Structure 1
Amino acid sequence: MHRTLQPTGWASPRGYSNGVEAQGRMVFVAGQIGWNPVSCAFETDDFVGQADQALRNLVAVLREAGAGPEHVTRMTWYVTDRAAYAENTRAVGRVYRDAFGPHFPAMTLVIVAGLLEEEAKVEIEATAVV
């Protein structure tokens, strides 16, 4: 069971929730990057393409736990290029909705100097409650 937390009088967030209350079995998904999970190779250096692949990788891990995007309560994005994210918010929103539909968990986006895999432009981790 999940309940979105939206304090009275606050502006509605776009593309995320301010908070989520949940009860159930917890699933923790490690940071997923935008590479092919079989070959561990990047098929694109495009920011949106990597975000799309990272989200698809995250959904695949959720499936292993019998979970889906609707169970995600918290998500953290680590992005290496603020401008690339800002310039592509519509496209990122599109690939997000393709993977997660209309489900918007509590979300944080952090700009980082780099990720372990030097080619990675985005890494996404999540917590789900089933």
Structure 2
Amino acid sequence: MNPSKGPAPAAFSESETEPRVLQPRGWPTPKGYANGMSADGRLVVTGGVIGWDIYGHLAPDFVAQVRQTLRNIAAILAEGDARPEHLVRLTWYVVNMDEYLANLKVLGQVYREIFGAHYPAMALVQVVRLVEKEAKVEIEATAVVPR
């Protein structure tokens, strides 16, 4: 890493009650995720959430499943009095990494449409399959609601 690449982003937000991005000085700034997050408050977590609708139906394509999965996470967060900007971690499980990588641009648009420009720490893991055979993506979320 090159410490002379410019100033590192602040380790704290303007509001000490909101989650803060942890960006070590000199590290390249990640695009679409954070290296780490810090927050104080009440924890809200989801289980593995997939993209089915209220009738238990899954869309046949990957992007539509991601869109519905993110909407489902937003609905769960709302039940816990949390919002997308309270997210500190997302763990994505995908059945086909190539499908994910082939759709990065549209996935970014879908993400911002639902969660805005807040990018928590994220991990992406390819798995052999998910419990629901037709599911192409499953996401776990962790949020911290300020006190």
Tell me the TM-score normalized by structure 1. 0.97
Output one character per residue of 1:49-95: Cα deviation in whole Å (capped at 9) or x when no partner.
Answer: 00000000000000001111000101100000011001000011111
Partner of 1:39: 55
Q: 1:55 aligns with which of 67, 70, 78?
A: 70
- 1:83-102 aligned at under 5 Å gives the runs 83-102=98-117
What runs of 5+ residues in structure 1 fail to find an aligned partner?
none
Distance in 2 between the 1:128 and 1:73 partners? Answer: 5
Distance in 1 between the 2:70 and 2:99 partners? Answer: 17
Partner of 2:46: 29
Distance in 1 between the 2:103 and 2:22 partners? Answer: 27
Q: 1:107 aligns with which of 122, 131, 138?
A: 122
Distance in 1 between the 2:73 and 2:20 partners? Answer: 22
Partner of 2:7: none
Higher relative CO (Cα under 8 Å, sequence separation at least 6) belongs to 1
Tell me the TM-score normalized by structure 2. 0.86
Matched, 1:12 2:29: yes
State the AA in 1 paired with 2:22.
L
Partner of 1:120: 135
What is the number of residues matched between the two proteins?
A: 128
CA RMSD between the two structures? 0.6
- Residue 12 of structure 1, CA deviation: 0.4
Give identity over the alignment, percent. 53
Distance in 2 between the 1:22 and 1:78 partners? Answer: 24
Output one character per residue of 1:74-120: Cα deviation in whole Å (capped at 9) or x when no partner.
Answer: 11000000110010000111110011100000000000000000000
Structure whose CA Rg is larger: 2
Distance in 1 between the 2:50 and 2:39 partners? Answer: 26
